[in-house]
Amino acid sequence: MSTLIKVGIIGSGAMGAGIAQVVAQAGHPVCLLDQNHAALQRASTGISNNLRKLAEKGKLTAEEAEAAIARVKTCNDMQSFADCGLVIEAIVEDLAVKQSVFRDVEAMVSADCVLASNTSSLSIASIAAACQRPERFIGIHFFNPAPLMQLVEVIPAVQTRAGLAEEVRALVQSWGKLPVLCQDTPGFIVNRIARPYYGEAIRLLEEGVADAATIDWAMTELGGFRMGPFALMDFIGHDVNYRVTESVFTAFFFDPRFKPSFTQKRLFEAGYYGRKSGRGFYDYREGAVPPEPTRDPALGHQVLNRILAMLINEAVDALHLHVASKEDLELAMTKGVNYPKGLLRWADELGLPAVLQTLDALYEEYHEDRYRASPLLRRLVKAEQTFFQRESVGSH
């Protein structure tokens, strides 16, 4: 794939506009398409403002900013994609809509134009199936906001031609991003492995082990996470977070490890989406007093160890099932959701037998499949192995 190909982007919402900015900054001519003229104008103004702000902060020169702005052209019909080498779709998470869009796109582009979806939850194979030439189709999943978040998941479908994933990975890297390669499985890497951060936290709340403020305190103060699970769900919005959990659960043939909770479903149904609506797990309305956590180290460590064991188990299982390489799994969780450490290294640090013991004790207590330990974790404990070789003391 030649480096400075023209890139078409479908959808000028937050994701589409963010991707357009990234690609234009990297030197590509960009064609940003949206049927909604007002949205397109907002996106164009937003991109220009963002690039000029970067110049004011000294992150770009004024000339670089203006050149990047000039590279973004807005368009309202697909004929403008005729000379594109890559087209990325960033529209509503609806399979039928995406398939219909790619059928139209394929009629307009050249035979060697690569087609990509920024979907976060749909199967790449199912979108590619709508194309006449599915071998040129791939998933390129950015995280919001695209200009700031370094991680990009690159997901070949079962139909994707050999070698395309590596070409796309190199291209994404040339944009200053950190691409990881992963299998076309539900949630890809990040949205799959991160599920227990929310699910197990809610389970602890429902059982009355600790309240939301205490669980958030344990994860941030003792665990080093940037945001606690309840503050994070409220920040993402339950309309988004609950739907992702539900779609991952359904896509995994109702595996109990991904089971959504009634507690979050009720917030979603009530329209208590979190910060954006003024209420979620916390009250964000004017005059509301945030609850104080119970700063009990023993309770805090009980909470942290249980959620952490579940997260680690999910990462281990993703490795066991070859969803991604060890290195890409670690990179995805530290750069995609800003975890303080990669979960496999964290497992080594805690000691794999200790993690397995936590999971087995939970399984023994609940007899629920959600607490089943990954076979790979059990195997490594038996063989007295770790995920990464321990560096010998004094080595450089």
Burial string for 170-180 (b: 16+ CB within 10 Å, else e) reads: ebbeebebbbb
Copy the structure tokens of residue 23: 């690609």
Find the helix or strand (DSSP H, E) in which 245 lies: helix 238-251
Which of 141, 238, 241, 330 is the catalytic position?
A: 141
Amino acid in the structure at residue 345 = R
Q: Measuring CA to CA, which residue among 176, 174, 195, 184 is closest to residue 335?
A: 176
Grouping H, G, I as helix, E, B as strand and the rest as coil, residue 279 is: strand
**Residue 191 bears catalytic tag:** yes
Q: Measuring CA to CA, which residue among 101, 152, 95 is closest to residue 125?
A: 95
Asked if 210 contacts 324 with a C-beta cutoff of 8 angstroms, the reply is: no
Calculate the dihedral angle through the C-alpha atoms of 230, 231, 233, 235, rounding to the nearest 10 degrees.
170
Q: Measuring CA to CA, which residue among 340, 325, 366 is closest to residue 197?
A: 340
The maximal CA–CA distance of the chain, rounded, in angstroms, is: 64
DSSP character for 274?
Answer: B
**Residue 153 bears catalytic tag:** yes
Q: How many Å apart are CA 145 and CA 228, to the nearest integer?
A: 20
**Residue 247 bears catalytic tag:** no
Q: How many Å apart are CA 306 and CA 359, to the nearest integer?
A: 8
Which of 153, 200, 314, 330 is the catalytic position?
A: 153
Which of 12, 118, 123, 191 is the catalytic position?
A: 191
Copy the structure tokens of residue 146: 């695209």
DSSP character for 252?
Answer: T
Which of 44, 50, 117, 120 is the catalytic position?
A: 120
Q: In terms of DSSP bridges, do strands 151-156 and 137-142 run parallel, antiparallel, or are they unpaired? A: antiparallel
Q: In terms of DSSP bridges, do strands 137-142 and 72-75 run parallel, antiparallel, or are they unpaired? A: unpaired
Q: How many Å apart are CA 89 and CA 142, to the nearest integer?
A: 11
Q: How many Å apart are CA 309 and CA 357, to the nearest integer?
A: 9
At which residue do the structure tokens 């589409």 appear?
Answer: 16
Grouping H, G, I as helix, E, B as strand and the rest as coil, residue 345 is: helix
Using a 10 angstrom Cβ sphere, with 0-12 exposed, 13-18 middle and 19 or more buried, the burial of residue 356 is buried
**Residue 166 bears catalytic tag:** no
Catalytic residues: 120, 141, 153, 191
